Amino acid sequence: GQNIDQPTEMTATEGAIVQINCTYQTSGFNGLFWYQQHAGEAPTFLSYNVLDGLEEKGRFSSFLSRSKGYSYLLLKELQMKDSASYLCAVRHDYKLSFGAGTTVTVRA
Amino acid sequence: GAGVSQTPSNKVTEKGKYVELRCDPISGHTALYWYRQSLGQGPEFLIYFQGTGAADDSGLPNDRFFAVRPEGSVSTLKIQRTERGDSAVYLCASSSHGTSGYNEQFFGPGTRLTVL
């Protein structure tokens, strides 16, 4: 089975940093994705980690520790438009298993 | 270029009716996926096509659900005898290949299905 956990909600101030944690226990692992989803819209790709370590992409960074079954997404210099749901997804072969998502609210 | 498109964007039906949801993937993408997303949850895998064939339909909840992709491009998800519990957003995604490499899945905007 697949068990992917992430916090339900987080709130932060514009310009601040927020870290969204994701822990997983899955039957297979071929990489971990982070997607952003605005209300009523499609999930859009943010990052992909398959090896341990930090991947940095502009204001967003993602970290993976396979031995700990742990990842985090770091959002820096928060902007109002970053208010959205952030989905952690583990890939096994072709299939993605998603967590329930973390709703991030950015306040002015 | 054009992304994944899905029609209709919203579908309201009555319990017991039959519905079809359509997905038009990114041109050239051989892999196509259907997911279902209930309120407050992440997408849940339903079925995966590689070309015309359903390589994995293990996520379909029961035999009321069926999907086809006859020419290896457009796919249709079909739900018979709809139930209120089928109400959800049905997401389609496509990727350039299924099992190897980076394999980013590109998602469509979804069809919101409401069964009254």
> Is cis: bond before B8, omega within 30 of 0?
yes
pLDDT of residue A92: 87
User: What is the arithmetic mean of pLDDT over B35-39?
Assistant: 95
Report the chain A residue with the minimal C-alpha distance to residue B109: A42
DSSP code for B105: P
Report the chain B residue with the minimal C-alpha distance to residue A43: B107
CA gap A47, B104 in Å, rounded: 10
CA gap B4, B37 in Å, rounded: 17
- Cβ of residue A53 closer than 8 Å to a chain B Cβ: no
- Cβ of residue B30 closer than 8 Å to a chain A Cβ: no
CB contact under 8 A, B42 and A99: yes
In tens, the pLDDT along A53-64 reads 999 999 999 999
| Chain mean position to CA A104 | 11
In tens, the pLDDT along A73-101 reads 999 999 999 999 999 999 988 889 999 99
User: What is the arithmetic mean of pLDDT over B78-92?
Assistant: 97
Which residue from B42, B95, B104 is facing A48, i.e. has the nearest CB? B104
| Residues contacting A32, CB < 8 A, separation 6+ | A22, A24, A48, A49, A50, A62, A64, A71, A88, A89, A90, A91
As to burial, measured by CB atoms within 10 angstroms (0-12 exposed, 13-18 middle, 19+ buried), residue A30 is middle
Which residue from A42, A48, A99 is facing B109, i.e. has the nearest CB? A42
Is the CB of residue A24 less than 8 Å from the CB of residue A88? yes
Distance from CA of B81 to the nearest CA of A (A): 26
The first and second tokens of residue A78, run together, are: 């928060």
DSSP code for B71: T
A contacts of B108 (beta carbons < 8 Å): 42
- Cβ of residue B20 closer than 8 Å to a chain A Cβ: no
Q: What percent of chain A has pLDDT over 70?
A: 99
